Structure 1
Amino acid sequence: MLLKKITILSLFISLISCSSGFSEKEKQEYTIKGKEIAQASFNELSSQLMTQMQAGGPAQAVPFCKEQAAPILAQLSSKYDANIKRSSDLLRSCKIEPTERELEIIYGYKKLISEKKDIQPIVEVDSDNKKHFYAPIIVKTNCLVCHGKVNETMSVKTDSIIKSIYPFDIATGYNEGDLRGVWSITFNK
């Protein structure tokens, strides 16, 4: 009888430890890997976008972003063996809608920011045993040219260009330091 209780207890403990997802070591490893991927993705996108801005301003950069951001992230996804996505609650394109979990994380980050608390990346395992990394995307000064406020940090002309390419855009009105969204990275292994 005692052996049966110990076996049941061992099984219960192993189920609990499996469902928690990560050991602390794995959590640290995936956090480091996620930060590396998010930073590399940001660097690649912003570098190419700045090249377009310098070459032709928003009239060249906005269409470039619409057509090339997804292929750039797809290429990086292949390189890092992960699915790399940017997600937001204020969309520029209806094609990239956030998941329920991404929205929960975005709203959680916004709450922490409003309470003047630190925000950190999140690493977790979902019910399908997929490993996820989420990190905040914070608005920088140069982002305001296309995501700022009209007649303040964004010109009417730029707003018109954006509205002609993204008719349902609501991804403007930001200030420097605002939360734009999250990096949402799902690891393939």
Structure 2
Amino acid sequence: MSYLFRSLAGFLLLSALLASCRPDQIEHIKDGKKIAITLDKMVVKRILPADLLRATRWAGDSLTRHADRELRRVLSEKLQAGGVAAALPYCRPETFASVDTLERTMQATAQRRSARPRNAANRASLTATALQPDTVRRVARLNGDVFTYQRPIVLDDALCLRCHGEVGKDISTTDYALVKKEYPQDQATGYRLGQAMGIWQVTLQRAGVAEFYTMKTRKIVKPRKPLF
């Protein structure tokens, strides 16, 4: 019985001491959030082969989606400003500065390929499966240091019909004359909304894939809530 009273008394004393501590009396480590982030970066993370393939898909999606968004933004501006003549030189998102920056960060090279290209240099033999709009992204590891990513390029914006739709209907004969002058071997017309025009192909180095995986899976330290 005496033991029970002593335990109860000790508990009550500890509770009283904790209750007496005000929030402003708690000392926090200076720059604790920055220190936690730095320490997390220093932790050596084990990355499995399956993780690298998953990161290849993440990186490929991130890079090509950014390129597609930039292409739509730039073409919209150029078409509004000067029509097809102004937009035609910019239908090459793989050459945009912001895309190049991402490529260097990810140690990647992105290219567009098509069986019916506008630029003959982008011609490639593609299977029907590769061009299915709902095809799951294809990722592979060619060797210990090189990964590949592939997905279809789908014409999902009516804006693109101004240069890639049906001549005489979506594309004026005057505008198509400009296209043929710039690209004499053009085959990239006659497309409809929802149709695959080609594929994105991305080659990535292991170091870039591993770094992207680390960044994507790194624990984010949430800001500390004010004490009062």
Matched, 1:121 2:146: no
Q: Distance in 1 between the 2:71 and 2:101 partners?
A: 11
Matched, 1:132 2:132: no
**For 2:88, what is the secondary structure of its paired residue?**
helix
**For 2:203, what is the secondary structure of its paired residue?**
strand
Q: Deviations over 1:30-69 (max 9, x none)?
A: 1112111111111122212221111111011013336x75
What pairs with 1:26-41 in structure 2 (closer than 5 Å)?
26-41=52-67
Cα contact 2:53–2:141 (8 A) shared by 1 = no
Identity %: 25
**For 2:171, what is the secondary structure of its paired residue?**
coil
Q: Deviations over 1:89-147 (max 9, x none)?
A: 1111122333xxxx34x53234x56xxxx311100122575200001110122111100
Structure 2 alignment gaps of length 5 or more? 1-47, 207-228
Structure (1 or 2) with the larger CA radius of gyration: 2
Kindly tell me the number of residue pairs found equivalent between the two proteins: 157
| Partner residue, 1:15 | none
Q: Distance in 2 between the 1:94 and 1:175 partners?
A: 21
Give the one of 81, 85, 89 matched to 2:111: 85
Check 1:42–1:138 CA distance in 2 against 1; reply closer, same or farther (3 A cut).
same
RMSD: 2.3
Q: Distance in 1 between the 2:49 and 2:171 partners?
A: 46
Check 1:162–1:24 CA distance in 2 against 1; reply closer, same or farther (3 A cut).
same
Cα contact 1:41–1:76 (8 A) shared by 2 = no
Check 1:157–1:88 CA distance in 2 against 1; reply closer, same or farther (3 A cut).
same
Structure 1 alignment gaps of length 5 or more? 1-21
**For 1:135, what is the secondary structure of its paired residue?**
strand
User: TM-score, length-normalised on structure 1?
Assistant: 0.73
What pairs with 1:38-187 in structure 2 (closer than 5 Å)?
38-65=64-91, 70-72=95-97, 73-98=99-124, 103-104=125-126, 106-110=127-131, 112=132, 118-126=134-142, 129-140=145-156, 141-187=158-204
Check 1:169–1:40 CA distance in 2 against 1; reply closer, same or farther (3 A cut).
same
Q: Distance in 2 between the 1:188 and 1:121 partners?
A: 18
Check 1:172–1:26 CA distance in 2 against 1; reply closer, same or farther (3 A cut).
same
**For 2:120, what is the secondary structure of its paired residue?**
coil
